[in-house]
């Protein structure tokens, strides 16, 4: 239930890089894991387990592959609202998210752009906030204006 250690986060530039790390850990590059990785490398944004499964894999296997890859530090996921988790490769340009709870708009921004906010939170509460796994939720500019009537 706890999250990836992020300790020795290697650069995973290809499926083979991940495979090597996998084997170093006593693991194996199996068909589901390879397919999941290939799909993630080809994806242009975070995608669901269901999308990763397609018609060729059991959802179960996808979840197990993702769990293992997340442990390795090669994959991470984000929860936007109540919808299914969205998975992506670590090291893809790291992005963090704001979600409007009224219109469900998702604003994805480069992680650095939230460093000011993060600093303010750390100063005030000691927390190092990470908006890549759970987003900032609130009202976007338009919905906030609409709400004011």
Partner DNA sequence: TTCACTGCAAACAGTTTGCAGGCGC
Partner DNA sequence: GCGCCTGCAAACTGTTTGCAGTGAA
- Does residue 31 touch a copy of itself according to CB under 8 A? no
- Does residue 67 touch DNA according to CB under 7 A? yes
Rule CB under 7 A: choose which of 15, 37, 61, 132 binds DNA: 61
The 10 Å Cβ neighbour count of residue 72 is 21
CB of 117 to a copy of itself, least distance (A): 5
The 10 Å Cβ neighbour count of residue 43 is 16
| Cβ-Cβ contacts under 8 Å for 20 (sequence gap 6 or more) | none
- Nearer to DNA among residue 63 and residue 118 (C-beta): 63
Question: Is the CA virtual torsion 41, 42, 45, 50 positive or negative?
Answer: negative
Query: Tokens standing for 2?
Result: 């706890």
Measured CA to CA, the distance from residue 92 to residue 6 in angstroms comes to: 15
Residues 28-47 that bind DNA (CB under 7 A): 28-33
| 71, 45 Cβ separation under 8 angstroms | no
- Does residue 19 touch a copy of itself according to CB under 8 A? no
Contact positions toward a copy of itself, by CB under 8 A? Answer: 2-3, 6-7, 98, 100-102, 107, 109, 113-114, 116-117, 120-121, 124-131, 133-141, 144, 147, 149
Site for DNA, rule CB under 7 A = 19, 22-23, 26-33, 48-50, 57-61, 63-65, 67-68, 79, 83-85
């Amino acid at each position: 239930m706890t999250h990836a250690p992020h300790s020795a986060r290697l650069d995973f530039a290809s499926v083979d890089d991940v495979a090597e790390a996998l084997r170093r850990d006593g693991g194996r590059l199996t068909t589901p894991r390879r397919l999941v990785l290939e799909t993630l490398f080809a994806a242009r944004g975070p995608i669901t387990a269901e999308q990763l499964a397609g018609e060729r894999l059991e959802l179960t296997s996808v979840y197990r592959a993702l769990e293992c890859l997340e442990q390795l530090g090669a994959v991470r996921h984000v929860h936007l609202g109540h919808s299914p988790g969205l998975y992506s490769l670590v090291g893809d340009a790291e992005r963090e998210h704001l979600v409007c709870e009224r219109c469900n708009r998702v604003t994805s921004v480069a992680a650095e752009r939230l460093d000011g906010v993060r600093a303010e939170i750390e100063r005030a509460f000691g927390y190092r906030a990470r908006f890549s796994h759970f987003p900032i939720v609130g009202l976007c500019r338009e919905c906030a204006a609409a709400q004011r009537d």
